Amino acid sequence: MKQDDRGSDKSMAVMAILLFLLTMLIGLPIAFALGLSSVFVAVSQEYQLLQWAQRIYSGLDSFTLLAVPFFVLAGNIMNTGGITERLVDFAQYAVGRISGGLAQTNILVSMLFAGISGAAVADTSAIGSVLIPAMEKEGYDSDFSAAITVASSSAGPIIPPSILMVLYGVSTGTSIGALFLAGMVPGILLGVGLMIVTYLYARRRNYPRLEIDFELKVFLRKFKDVLIPLLAPVIIVGGIVGGIFTPTEAASVAVLYALIVTLFIYRELELADLPGVFLSSGLLSGVILLIIGFANTVAWIISMEQVGVTVAGSIQAFTDNTLLFLLLINLFLLFIGMFMEAGAAIIILAPILSPLAQQYGIHPLHFGFVMVLNLTIALSTPPIGICLFVGSKISGVDVKRLSIAILPFLMLLIGVLLLVTYVPAISMWVPEIFGYYP
């Protein structure tokens, strides 16, 4: 195929998309689905395979990306070292007396665990395995138990630290520290909103609340028990914002802190447990980094084929209204997020959409956070949001039934997304306090 024909060959792009969807439907991992579709385009468009392989390497050749395996490892160490159980115990005492006590506990634990794991899937898995069986035992409907676990896991990549924010920062050059700060207020807003919806559900369905006689000294003792692990996000974000260390160095500090807490303070992690923790963390990190590498080949082809220019031109021709542009982008990202892993979507789309958003006068930090929040919500969105499948596996609830049960919570999450989208101060306020983008 001639070089001049590349930009006009839309059928090739369609075939690549169909190949990607087909490989996904037959169960091929997302990384290999991305790789096959990108190599198909590279070969058919007469790019050299050496260039394709080089793009995989260049996509991973970033010091900042070292933060990803370090954050994964820190989360696994703390989860294995008994942190989850302590968070559940504290959250039960704090909010268990509210109607739907265990469901409220589920939400609060997700918010607290978000500051440790930085990933929605890890949140769903760790918390769901503990609280879904406990909720069912207390008389909660199994689909409701799974739905609130999946929905509340959206706090994982929103409350700092966040792996998705690291990827967005690497892809666009946006300050990762500023992105971390941007997630604080929306993360709390999301959690409080879910608690209100849960309260209404609990009152209507007569879900129990925990019979706890609140005593301040007991509360303080339980809070003290979880204070040490909860200092981890404070150290991470504070160190980055204060210029003490880079995001990568912050992630390595998080690992060291997690080891000290679990090995020497709580003493629930044994040295014999570490090989298993390292192995599981390495496998998960390998999957994430493989997705990043193959996603970079797709981004490279999109750039070479000038797809970004075409998309930008089409959107600008359709509307010059900023509010309508934001609505279209949100709808597009929610759709993409249903079928594509969030990290891959950020690497492929952020370099295209971020400059376009700036042409509409949208602040790059604001747009970046909206994109991360959007794709995070998509993890819980039918038909194939990955957190839905994790929740379904843990609870034994059919994905179709779970998809119906999560809809009210999904409406709340989308409502928060629209609020953050059209009221930039919600996400920009804290970063501006700390001197970012005055």
Instruction: Return the higher-pLDDT residue of 175 and 291.
Output: 175
Mean pLDDT of the chain: 85
pLDDT tens per residue, range 84-103? 788 888 998 999 889 899 99
244 vs 241: CA distance, rounded Å: 8
Residues in the chain: 438
Instruction: Return the higher-pLDDT residue of 229 and 126.
Output: 229
Q: State the pLDDT at residue 14.
A: 65
Query: Residues 375, 329: contact at Cβ < 8 Å?
Result: no
With respect to residue 57, please indicate whether it lies within any of the assigned structural domains: no
Range 153-158 average pLDDT: 82
Q: State the pLDDT at residue 1.
A: 42
With respect to residue 31, please indicate whether it lies within any of the assigned structural domains: no
With respect to residue 278, please indicate whether it lies within any of the assigned structural domains: yes
Range 190-207 average pLDDT: 93
With respect to residue 323, please indicate whether it lies within any of the assigned structural domains: yes
With respect to residue 11, please indicate whether it lies within any of the assigned structural domains: no
Q: What's the domain range around 170?
A: 65-287+306-433
Instruction: Return the higher-pLDDT residue of 17 and 237.
Output: 237
| Helix, strand or coil, per DSSP, at residue 382 | coil
**Cα torsion at 373, 377, 378, 380 (round to 10°)?**
160
To which residue do tokens 């974000």 refer? 237
Q: State the pLDDT at residue 7.
A: 45
CB atoms inside a 10 Å sphere around CB 254: 26
Question: Please, is 361 exposed, middle or buried when counting C-beta atoms within 10 Å of its C-beta (0-12, 13-18, 19+)?
Answer: exposed
Range 32-44 average pLDDT: 80
To which residue do tokens 């879910």 refer? 194
186 vs 184: CA distance, rounded Å: 6
Range 53-76 average pLDDT: 85
Task: Name the domain count of the chain.
Answer: 1
With respect to residue 396, please indicate whether it lies within any of the assigned structural domains: yes
Radius of gyration in angstroms for the set of CA atoms belonging to the chain, rounded to a whole number: 22
With respect to residue 78, please indicate whether it lies within any of the assigned structural domains: yes
Query: Residues 154, 379: contact at Cβ < 8 Å?
Result: yes
CA distances from 21 to 11, 29, 183, 295 (A): 15, 11, 32, 15
HSE-up (13 A, CA, CB side) for residue 61: 6
Residue 437: pLDDT band by 50, 70, 90 thresholds?
low
With respect to residue 9, please indicate whether it lies within any of the assigned structural domains: no
Residue 2: pLDDT band by 50, 70, 90 thresholds?
very low
153 pLDDT more than 70: yes
Of the listed ranges 19-23, 88-92, 222-226, 247-251, the least confidently predicted one is: 19-23
Range 157-175 average pLDDT: 89
Residue 420: pLDDT band by 50, 70, 90 thresholds?
very high
